[in-house]
Amino acid sequence: MQLQETNRISQGFRTKEILSSSLSQPLANIHKSTHVLEDDSEYSDPEFDDSEDEEESVEEEEATNSTSIIINQAKKEEINIRSSCQMFLKTQTEIKTNYREVAVKWLLKLHYNFHLANDVLFNAITYFDILLSNKKIPKSELQLYAVVCYWVSAKVDTRVQPSVAQFNNLSGEHFTNELFSRVEIELLGVLGYKLSFPTSKFFMRQPLTLLGADEKVTHVSRLVSEVALIKFDFMDYRPSINAAASVIISFACLGHTDKAIEMIKTELLDGSNMESLLNCTKLQCKYSKEFIATHKESSSNEVKSLFDLVNMEIDFDNMFQIASESICV
């Protein structure tokens, strides 16, 4: 069995931008811009071979083992990501937490205009948070550093990257190749020339597939995980915890409580801290609930229909207790 993921843009369910500011405005003028997360259909249906040949069964087991090894290695690596709320607050004097949020929203807007794979976005925010946690940035250059994080991430994950001119056209700025090159060198130094980091997007793929996430669950998981990207609080949670929280919420809010509990059990058995996972899940749910309440009426009919199915009034304490007790039995 082989799982084949694609990065095509879906021609089916498409969410709608509801931005209070146009992309032509500079970052300094964006105060309340928000984006309803667009579908990139990154999770295609797994392709199964129906043959019961013994050789293919062996290949399936080997593929599963390989995936588990990769994920376990990623969980070891994520511990060494040098970013946190405390590091940010200690490092930055001009950049406030809400400035980071505005910058990330702006990157989301750029991202959905370029239609690149979501890995580009998640890697870019990882770079950005490491940068903000380790290097003092002038407020006047925040937008420049943010866009270079995205540009470098696009270099890593795509064959063709947006040009400086394209960034200028969308932002109304006047960046130059020299500025991009200067900041790129600084960024690479802060990153220690490491350009591959585990992200919550990476950690979400396997559980969504194994738990049989349908299209609606997958759409909600994208929304929840990208709302979490925006919020400063989640810098203190490891990517695997953020990913697990998003998956738990996505199944639970659509009535798949059994699968949400199964996800909790899996995480606890893998050694995740129960308190940390529960707190992260509640916080993501809170922000996602606020996002839906704020943007539901201004969304497209397709997005409204999905939001109508979502119930964010979830008793996570009870779900975690059930999962914990089932492990102890």
Residue ranges matching CATH 1.10.472.10 in the chain: 80-196, 200-328
User: Smallest Cα–Cα separation from 152: which of 108, 172, 182, 115?
Assistant: 182
**Separation CA 309–CA 303 (nearest Å):** 10
Q: For residues 265 and 274, what is the distance between their CA atoms, to the nearest angstrom?
A: 10
CATH code for the part of the protein at 200-328 = 1.10.472.10
Sole residue written with tokens 């597939």:
209
Per-residue pLDDT, 109: 93
The Cα 238–Cα 229 span in angstroms is 12
Q: Which two tokens stand for residue 106?
A: 């702006």
**Contact 288/225 with Cβ under 8 angstroms?**
no
* Tokens 């089916």 sit on residue: 12
Half-sphere exposure of 252 (CA within 13 A, CB side): 25
Q: May I ask the CATH class of domain 80-196? A: mainly alpha
The angle subtended at Cα 264 by Cα 128 and Cα 308, nearest 5°, is 75
- Determine contact, residues 73/198, Cβ cutoff 8 Å: no
As a whole number of angstroms, the distance between CA 151 and CA 128 comes to 11
The pLDDT tens digits along the chain (329 residues) read: 333 333 322 323 333 343 333 333 445 443 333 333 334 333 333 332 333 333 444 455 555 677 888 998 999 999 999 999 999 999 999 999 999 999 999 999 999 999 999 999 999 999 999 999 999 999 999 999 999 999 999 999 888 889 999 999 988 899 999 999 999 999 999 999 999 999 999 999 999 999 999 999 999 999 999 999 999 999 999 999 999 999 999 999 999 999 999 999 999 999 999 999 999 999 999 999 999 999 988 888 888 999 999 999 999 999 999 999 999 86
Q: Which amino acid is at 311?
A: N
Asked if residues 230 and 108 have their Cβ atoms less than 8 Å apart, the reply is: yes
Kindly write down the DSSP assignment for every residue of 61-117, as one continuous string: HHHHHHHHHHHHHHHHHHTT----HHHHHHH-SS--HHHHHHHHHHHHHHHHHHT--
Tell me if residue 37 falls in helix, strand or coil: coil
Q: Please give the Cα distance from 179 to 324 (Å, whole number).
A: 52
CA distance 225 to 217: 12
Cβ contacts of residue 162 below 8 Å, gap of 6+?
114, 151, 154
The pTM score is 0.81
Rounded to whole angstroms, how far apart are CA atoms 173 and 146?
13
CA-CA-CA-CA torsion sign (200, 205, 210, 216): positive
